[in-house]
Amino acid sequence: MAFDIQGTSLSWSSPQAARQLVFLLLVMGAVLTPSSPSDIPSSSSTMHNNNWAVLVCTSRFWFNYRHMANTLSLYRTVKRLGIPDERIILMLADDMACNARNTYPAQVFNNENHQLNLYGDNVEVDYRGYEVTVENFLRVLIGRHESAVPRSKRLLSDEGSHVLLYMSGHGGDEFLKFQDSEELQSHDLSDVVKQMKEKHRFKELLIMVDTCQAATLFSQLHSPGVLAIGSSMKGQNAYSHHLDSDIGVSVVDRFTFYTLAFFEKLNMYSNASLGSLFNSYNPNLLMSTAFCRMDLYQRPLHEVPVTNFFGSVMKTIHTESSYKLVSSAPGVESSHDLHSVGADRLTLEAEADVVKQIDSPEKRAVKIKRKKFDQQSLGDGNGHQQTKSNKSLVKVIKGREDAEASPFSKALLTRKLFTFSKISLIMELFGGKFFRTTCMIL
């Protein structure tokens, strides 16, 4: 037998040709082998699909209505642009929607036309009320939680993640107030960002703050990969946009209002850049000067899509390779075990259908035997206690009664029912005393 590959004649009689053929087959096998899980691009090597958001309203009380509306507005925006709830940590005082002063119960608005309820059915608040503290805020960012904290309240980012941190509230020169009881200092923010970088919890971090003198909160930052945008410079105030006469307070701040106006024109596939976002801030409209610290960020803002932080597009990667299934059921460790478990369940379901259709003299006989057993061995009507062996058998009988509600459970107890009928027959033949002895032996 001979082969001709690109003009070269190979024969099985030639050892050198045979070795070349084997080598060629090995190379072809390596090329055609399905990719392993490790060949799939990890989240660290992808863009625009590993994004997280931490949205914090640091204020409470009715007159700070606008700060909660600011945060809920950003929450709605990032969800609309593709970031799912499981990747959003939302921290709110959450005392506005059901406040007695609210003329629109269970609703929060950021516009006086009241067309968009920000506090809809799909709002998932992770930290509410007095859970919104500096300590919990820092714990979320660095990932140091108590064991009882569920995964839904944790920031599970990694070294490939783009993280958006948005904060709205009252601030001053290098501090941000939390519910008028404590403060987050600029060095606290710098330290937590440094720890996040050391623990590989982000690739790029965007910090956006809407407070008075917001720029001063970034003065101590030194970690690479961090971009910071603030609503005002040192010595400047951040102002509200408009008053809602029905609600009686301002419903949104100017900086957040114009940020939302920019994003309402976009979708998750838009190519608008962070540079265009920052250039959209007009000092005359904001009544303050927006600030952007870019010295720690490696890329030009006009090359970075806003959806790198404010949106997310999940990619589906097709692969022919198989994955080992993981089950929480004890003793199930492989796909073969899972297959056998599925087969057993089908068998039990088939048995359940058979049991459900039984309406025979045997079934009625079991009920009669049970009734006699109740009269003879469960008590004589004078309050005498049952023996230990009787109590154990009572559990089997009670289990039968519970099983009647589920055909699937009936199949599991079928053998016990037939065994019970046989034991009841022995009881009648030999008497209760011998029966109790037999049960103890069994």
Tell whether the model's pLDDT for residue 33 goes beyond 50.
no
Provide the angle, in degrees to the nearest 10, between the axes of the packed helices 432-441 and 414-430: 140
Structure confidence at residue 94 as a pLDDT band (50, 70, 90): confident
Q: In this structure, are residues 436 and 394 in contact, taking their beta carbons and an 8 Å threshold?
A: no
Distance separating alpha carbons of residues 55 and 130, to the nearest angstrom: 16
Q: Could you give phi then psi for residue 205, rounded to 5 degrees?
A: -130, 125
- HEC string of the chain equals CEEEECCEEEECCCHHHHHHHHHHHHHHHHHHCCCCHHHCCCHHHCCCCCEEEEEEECCCCHHHHHHHHHHHHHHHHHHHCCCCHHHEEEEECCCCCCCCCCCCCCCCCCCCCCCCCCCCCCCCCCEEHHHCCHHHHHHHHHCCCCCCCCHHHCCCCCCCCEEEEEEECCEECCEEEECCCEEEEHHHHHHHHHHHHHCCCCCEEEEEEECCCHHHHHCCCCCCCEEEEECCCCCCCCCEEEEECCCCEEEEEHHHHHHHHHHCCCCCCCCCEHHHHHHCCCHHHHCCCCEEECCCCCCCHHHCECHHHHCCCCCCCCCCCCCCCCCCCCCCCCHHHHHHHHHHHHHHHHHHHHHHHCCCHHHHHHHHHHHHHHHHHCCCCCCCCCCHHHHHHHHHHHHHHHHCCCHHHHHHCHHHHHHHHHHHHHHHHHCHHHHHHHHHHC
pLDDT of the residue at 15: 60
Distance separating alpha carbons of residues 434 and 442, to the nearest angstrom: 12
pLDDT of the residue at 1: 47
Structure confidence at residue 120 as a pLDDT band (50, 70, 90): confident
35-44, 103-112, 341-350: which has the highest mean pLDDT? 103-112
Is residue 212 flagged as an active site residue?
yes
pLDDT of the residue at 216: 98
Distance separating alpha carbons of residues 381 and 188, to the nearest angstrom: 74
Span 51-308 CATH architecture: 3-Layer(aba) Sandwich (3.40)
pLDDT of the residue at 313: 78
Q: Which of 170, 241, 292, 439 is catalytic?
A: 170
Q: Could you give phi then psi for residue 287, rounded to 5 degrees?
A: 60, 25
68-82, 325-339, 426-440: which has the highest mean pLDDT? 68-82
Least confident span in 11-25, 117-131, 166-180 = 11-25
Q: Which of 57, 212, 292, 439 is catalytic?
A: 212
Q: If we measure between CA atoms, which residue out of 190, 142, 170 comes closest to residue 70?
A: 170
Q: In this structure, are residues 219 and 37 in contact, taking their beta carbons and an 8 Å threshold?
A: no
Least confident span in 123-132, 384-393, 409-418, 422-431 = 384-393
